[in-house]
């Protein structure tokens, strides 16, 4: 029913407006009595619990960063059955992001191109919201994804990340360092091992006991992905998130003129499925068995999630398919995993 509603009605709205409207509904679903009713039909089966990062995740399937940039929909997303919510990307300095329009649907591909540019209210505002969440939803697993402020030069990025980590790590269940968005000038250059290692070392020290992960891009050569994964282990990180959006436009079904009109930005959704699995396997081969690997990219169905778990993912995240499959997507994934009998190979 939802796909018909999407094509007939929701797809006619500007994508960013539709996202904010949907988030307003999600926020309502996170407040009693709506949250009680929602949880009654979406609560993950206990068999889906995953122990990693020193935490208990109700389900291996969670919401990727980018969906809830300002930590305003965490309660609602948890009520909808997601095992964790990664908020952000949060920057130390509040910023508007890139000019609009900056979010584009590729419906034929069940994909999205975005060049949002880390639009968010800043680390201080996020910290205040997280503090309230910790009082009102203490059992929800909340990751916080941090990025570089646009006004900060790349050579000063470490201090900027450290400022965010210092403010947010005490309120996060885990912290993720985003050096892989294609929408902040110079950011992806930080993924070079010789640059990334000292940055992560400084952020890890600032994060204290909060588990620290790094989020990488899928566009790197496999050997560089492997090198980053091994470096993350050597630097004492708790895990790696594989991966962010891609700048590739290969193999799309959407006509070339529409894709070109959308312009620059990161592509997410179904077209990333194959590369997502490739990157996951490269990372898993490079790290110990108990190292947390979160797989992201091209996830739509319970079979997709199971495939990633079988390939070595500890947890799986999604975002884009939420737009195409509707508000009960988390429940669909969880019930599908249970019906398959196991979430592990």
The sign of the CA dihedral 132, 138, 142, 146 is positive
In whole angstroms, give the CA distance from residue 207 to residue 211: 8
What is the enclosing helix (H) or strand (E) of 259? helix 256-262
Catalytic residue among 35, 149, 181, 276: 181
Q: Say what the pLDDT of residue 345 is.
A: 44
Tell me, yes or no, if 11 is annotated catalytic.
no
| Tokens of residue 78, six digits | 């948890």
Any domain includes 245: yes
Angle at 106 between CA 102 and CA 108, to 5 degrees: 175
Is residue 225 within 8 Å of residue 188, measured between CB atoms? no
Any domain includes 111: yes
Written as tens digits, the pLDDT of the chain (345 aa) is 555 554 545 567 788 888 888 899 999 999 989 989 998 889 999 999 999 999 999 999 999 999 999 999 999 999 999 999 999 899 999 999 999 999 999 999 999 999 999 999 999 999 999 999 887 666 789 999 999 999 999 889 999 999 999 999 999 999 999 988 777 877 777 778 888 999 999 999 999 999 999 999 999 999 999 999 999 999 999 999 998 999 999 999 999 999 999 999 999 999 999 999 999 999 999 999 999 999 999 999 999 999 999 999 999 999 999 999 988 999 999 999 998 765 554
Any domain includes 345: no
- CB < 8 Å & 24+ apart, contacts of 199-204: 199/157, 199/158, 199/161, 200/231, 200/232, 200/235, 200/237, 201/235, 202/158, 202/161, 202/162, 203/146, 203/158, 203/161, 203/162, 203/165, 203/175, 203/177, 204/235, 204/236, 204/237
Any domain includes 344: no
How many structural domains does the chain have? Answer: 1
Any domain includes 110: yes
Domain CATH number, residue 21: 3.20.20.70
DSSP 246: B
Containing structural domain, residue 180: 2-339
pTM for this predicted structure: 0.92
What residues does 106 pair with on adjacent strands?
A: 111
Q: What Rg, from alpha-carbon coordinates, does the chain have?
A: 18
Any domain includes 238: yes
Is residue 344 within 8 Å of residue 313, measured between CB atoms? no
Any domain includes 131: yes
Any domain includes 9: yes
């Amino acid at each position: 029913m939802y796909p018909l509603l999407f094509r007939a009605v929701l797809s006619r709205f500007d994508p960013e407006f539709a996202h904010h409207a949907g988030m307003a509904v999600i926020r309502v679903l996170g407040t009693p009595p709506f949250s009680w009713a929602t949880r009654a039909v979406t609560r993950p089966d206990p068999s889906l619990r995953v122990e990693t990062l020193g935490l208990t995740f109700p389900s291996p399937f969670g919401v990727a960063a980018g969906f809830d940039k300002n930590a305003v929909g965490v309660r609602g997303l948890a009520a909808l059955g997601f095992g964790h919510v990664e908020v952000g990307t949060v920057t130390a300095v509040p910023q508007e992001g890139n000019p609009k329009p900056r979010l584009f649907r590729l419906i034929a591909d069940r994909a999205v191109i975005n060049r949002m540019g880390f639009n968010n209210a800043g680390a201080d505002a996020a910290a205040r919201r997280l503090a309230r969440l910790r009082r009102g939803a203490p059992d929800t697993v909340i990751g916080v994804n941090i990025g570089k402020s646009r006004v900060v030069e790349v050579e000063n990025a470490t201090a900027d990340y450290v400022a965010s980590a210092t403010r947010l790590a005490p309120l996060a269940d885990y912290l993720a360092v985003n050096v892989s968005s294609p929408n902040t000038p110079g950011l992806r250059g930080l993924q070079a091992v010789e640059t990334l290692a000292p940055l992560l070392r400084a952020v890890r020290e600032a994060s204290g006991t909060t588990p620290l992960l790094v989020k990488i891009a899928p566009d790197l050569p496999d050997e560089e992905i492997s090198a980053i994964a091994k470096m993350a282990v050597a630097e004492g990180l708790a895990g790696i998130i594989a991966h962010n959006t891609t700048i590739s436009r290969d193999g799309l079904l959407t006509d070339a003129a529409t894709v070109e009109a959308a312009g620059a930005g990161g592509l997410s959704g179904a077209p990333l499925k194959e590369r997502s699995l490739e990157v996951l396997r490269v990372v898993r081969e490079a790290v110990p068995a108990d190292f947390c690997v979160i797989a992201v990219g091209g996830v739509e169905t319970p079979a997709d999630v199971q495939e990633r778990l079988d390939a070595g993912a500890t947890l799986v995240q999604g975002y884009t398919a939420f737009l195409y499959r509707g508000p009960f997507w988390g429940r669909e994934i969880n019930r599908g995993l249970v019906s398959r009998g196991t979430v592990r190979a």
